[in-house]
Structure 1
Amino acid sequence: MIGENLRKLRKTNNLTMKDLGQKLNLAESTISGYENGNRKPDYDTLNKFADFFEVSTDYLLGRDVAKDTSRDNEAYNPLADPDLGLWFKDIKDASPDKQEELKQFWEFIKSKEKNRKSGDKQ
């Protein structure tokens, strides 16, 4: 689980294993070992990853099923969520026309949901 979560976070942040290793003073082979499940990070290294990616150690360990990666649980940061992070990157890289189309589609979905909830109350 640790390896899968590390890989998702690394890719979401557009980092290679080498980049991440340099930022955390770890060998590329060490990062590879963690991601492939051949090695387990010690407590200090686990905390380094959590601090760097701004996630909880519980998230890295797979104990946080809600995927709320905020350290203080006060404010959810969707950019820290690996899945949403990839979506945000795709949206950011889309053409302005596609971004506008996505915005209109999202507004339609919100409106439809609001109408559905209004209908449930009647």
Structure 2
Amino acid sequence: MSLGNRLRERRERFGKTQLEAARGLGISNVQLSRYESDDRKPDPEMLGRFAEYYRTTTDYLLGRTDNASPDMGAPSDNREYPAFEEFINNPEHGVFFKDYLNAPEERKEEMRRFWEFIMEKEKGRKPGDKQK
């Protein structure tokens, strides 16, 4: 499978449109389309951004392995926190948690606890209500 096919496969696995993924990656939809169609090859920095955004490894994207899992045997499984994961993948919120995917496990746990605190404070709050 080519790099472009693997990029498309990962994007579709996360249920993202090209436009959503491009925004999340900070590139244009046209650029992403060219990468996915193998018309263009990403530089090493962009390849790393793809791996981080799609929660995989550069080795997987380059076809060096068929294991798409970024952390073999890592103690944390973010699928336990689907709402948190959705929150950090929102481009408007992701800036605050931009280092989450590369953070040590204790830092990740701290960020998840902080997010839970925020969500508890916001529970029942409607748009236009003052923050507590």
Scaled to the shorter chain, the TM-score interval is 0.5 to 0.7
**Runs of 4+, deviation exceeding 6 Å:** none
2:31 matched to 1:15?
Answer: no
Aligned residues: 76
More contact order relative to length (CA 8 Å, sep ≥ 6): 1
What whole-Å deviation, never above 9, does each CA across 1:31-87 have from its counterpart, x for those lacking one? Answer: 00001110001101100010111101000001103x2x232311497x8xxxxxxxx
Structure showing greater radius of gyration is 1
TM-score of the superposition, structure 2-length normalised? Answer: 0.53
Gaps of 5+ in 2: 80-132
The residue aligned with 1:4 is 5
Q: How far apart, CA to CA, are the structure 2 residues paired with 1:7 and 1:70?
A: 16
Asked if residue 47 in structure 1 is aligned to residue 76 in structure 2, the reply is no
TM-score by length of 1: 0.57
Percent pairwise identity: 34
**Amino acid across the alignment from 2:20:** D
How far apart are the structure 2 equivalents of 1:71 and 1:20?
19
Q: Determine helix, strand or coil for the equivalent of 2:10.
A: helix
| 1:19-30 alignment runs, 5 A limit | 19-30=20-31
Amino acid at match of 2:70: R
Q: What residue identity is the alignment partner of 2:73? A: E
Residue type of the partner of 1:73? M
Higher normalized helix content (fraction of residues)? 1
Structure 1 gap ranges (5+): 80-122
- Computed over aligned residues only, the root mean square deviation of the Cα atoms, in angstroms, reads 1.8
